[in-house]
Structure 1
Amino acid sequence: MSSHGEADLSVIGRLLAEPARARVLMALTDGRWLPASMLALEAGVANSTISGHLTRLVDGGMLTVQRHGRYRYYRLAGPHIAELVEVMAKIAPTLTITSLRQGTRAHAIRRARRCYDHMGGRIAVTITGALIRDGHLAGHDGSIDPDRMPGPRPAGGVLDPIAYTLTDTGAAFITERLEVATPAHTAVRCCVDWTEHRHHAAGVLGRNLLTSFEEHGWIKPATQPRALTLTTNGRHQLEETFQVDLEDHPAA
């Protein structure tokens, strides 16, 4: 007979202990399929070196791979890996910015980015906050301050995969204003945004919001990898729709 003991976190630790592999995971958090050559650039290693790192990540269950002709494309194994990366990024120290290029990229990612299949960053946090403020999401106040949250678990359950519920008014609002049908009482999964230390909507609602924003032309890919940018019309429409001030979020 075989039995299973506690999870061996050291296996994951060894996978992420190599900076090149950690950078690969960060590069893939927007849900894209990327070839090994591009991941080598993101990781800062040679093409001849990246294959070994990618093999270890695939064998460790963190990446999945597809072959198209001569080329292999890699993607995160699922949203649970993106969540792991986001949580770790929240507690990890930040890298020192040593160039204008690095600073520009860091600023763009903090402002708005694709977080697997939904949107993260300040804009996403602002919009999620507006949904909470207006009673469209039922739950706590979106903070992750343990001193302010009741309950036996850290932050009163704020780390639970499901933290909110879409209210009747929220479902009507999303359907009428954003043209995305999302049933009332839908459980809304949250992500603790690693740059803002507050929640942004994920799961079905987060995916529907990003899809709507993209289809309306309010959000588009930025020049920096993973980053998203507001269009001029997008800023106007989002400010009007959610009654928020996005002055700190320059439009393209």
Structure 2
Amino acid sequence: MTATTEGRGMAELAALLADGTRAGMCLALLDGRAWTAGELARRAGIAPSTASEHLNRLVRGGLLVEERQGRHRYLRLAGPSVAQLIEGLAGHAPAPPTPTGSLRAATAGAAMAYARTCYDHLAGRLGVLMYDALLADGRLDRSNGLTLTPDGWDWAAGLGVPVTELRAARRPVVRDCLDWIERRPHLAGALGAALCRRFTEMGWTTRGASRAIRLTPTGRPALAAALHVPEHTLIPTPPDPPTGGRA
């Protein structure tokens, strides 16, 4: 294969995401769920027929997969590697503008910045804080590529994470993922996904609007203790006052 051929394939992939509508649909699907074509059309603010054309291109390009149940067509990202690609590209894009015009928009933006799902793992300021805390405690080590240390394995097992399944998984156990808002790494990989699920199972987190994740009243002190960080560091930052429009 020549360099020209390889470059052509990369250009074709880039063209799929060069359209704002298609890129926005992929970002919406970072919540890890399957969306119907109609839901994605409404999210993008376009006609269903137009959305269908965009979605067909993304499916043909291997970024999305589709499932049909009755008359409904569901679409989701093709896998963790695609989610990593989307989040990585978003992390290198210009920073998103501060929401303006209403208190609701400002509140939603602050919630997404604080904690959200990145496909199947925790992102946002809370995800970055967890990553940093695990490094500081020696549960993660990045001296020779990111690895989970023996203390890290014990810590995960103590939280009820199925470590035997993690060891057998084909997916990397730990991987850093550039956060597109914080512009710093958060924890991805099989452990990142398992922790995101486990926090929900234990009632420490709950899903908010869209991809936003909220710490519950019992979850905040419990997670602070698990991460060995002061509880006040887990308190969300209040949204900035709207700069225009009506609240």
Q: With structure 1 as the length reference, what TM-score do the two structures score?
A: 0.83
Stretch deviating more after TM superposition (185-194 or 213-222): 185-194
Deviations 1:149-171 (A, max 9, x none): xxxxxxxx9xxxxx411111111
How many residues align? The count is 226
| Structure 1 portions without partners, runs of 5+ | 141-156, 158-162
Alignment correspondent of 1:195: 181
| Identity over aligned pairs, percent | 41
Which amino acid in structure 2 is aligned with residue 175 of structure 1?
A
Aligned to 2:203: 217
Asked if 1:136 corresponds to 2:123, the answer is: no
| Aligned partner of 1:98 among 100, 123, 127 | 100
Residue by residue, what CA displacement relative to the aligned partner does 1:67-96 show, whole Å, maximum 9, x if unpaired?
110110000011111111111111112344
CA distance in 2, matches of 1:21, 1:104: 26
Structure 1 residue 181 displacement after superposition = 3.6
Q: Which runs of 5+ in 2 are unaligned?
A: 238-247
Does 2:152 align with 1:170?
A: yes
SS at match of 2:163: coil
For 1:187 and 1:226, the matched residues in 2 are separated by 23
Range with bigger deviation, 184-193 or 81-90:
184-193
Opposite residue 216 of structure 2, the aligned amino acid is T
- SS for the counterpart of 1:28 is helix
Q: Which moved more, 1:43-52 or 1:29-38?
A: 43-52
**1: distance between equivalents of 2:15 and 2:173?**
34
Q: Which has the higher contact order (CA 8 A, sep 6+)?
A: 2
| Structure 1 counterpart of 2:124 | 121
Does the CA-based 8 Å contact 1:118-1:210 persist in structure 2? yes
- Distance in 2, matches of 1:95 and 1:121, equals 13
Q: Give the equivalent residue in structure 2 for 1:180.
A: 161
Larger helix fraction of residues? 2
What do the CA deviations read for 1:191-245 (whole angstroms, capped 9, x no partner)? 11121122211111101211210110101110x2111111111111011111223
Partner residue of 2:215? 230
Q: CA RMSD in A?
A: 2.2
Contact kept, 8 Å, 2:96 with 2:181, in 1: the verdict is no
Secondary structure at the residue paired with 1:32? coil
- Within the candidate set 108, 112, 133, 1:109 is matched to 112
User: Contact conserved, 1:109 with 1:227, CA < 8 A, in 2?
Assistant: yes
Distance 1:201 1:247 in 2: 17
Residue 63 of structure 1: aligned partner: 64
**Kept in 2: contact 1:126–1:244 (CA 8 A):** no
State the distance in 2 between where 1:197 and 1:227 align: 18
Q: 1:147 maps to which residue?
A: none
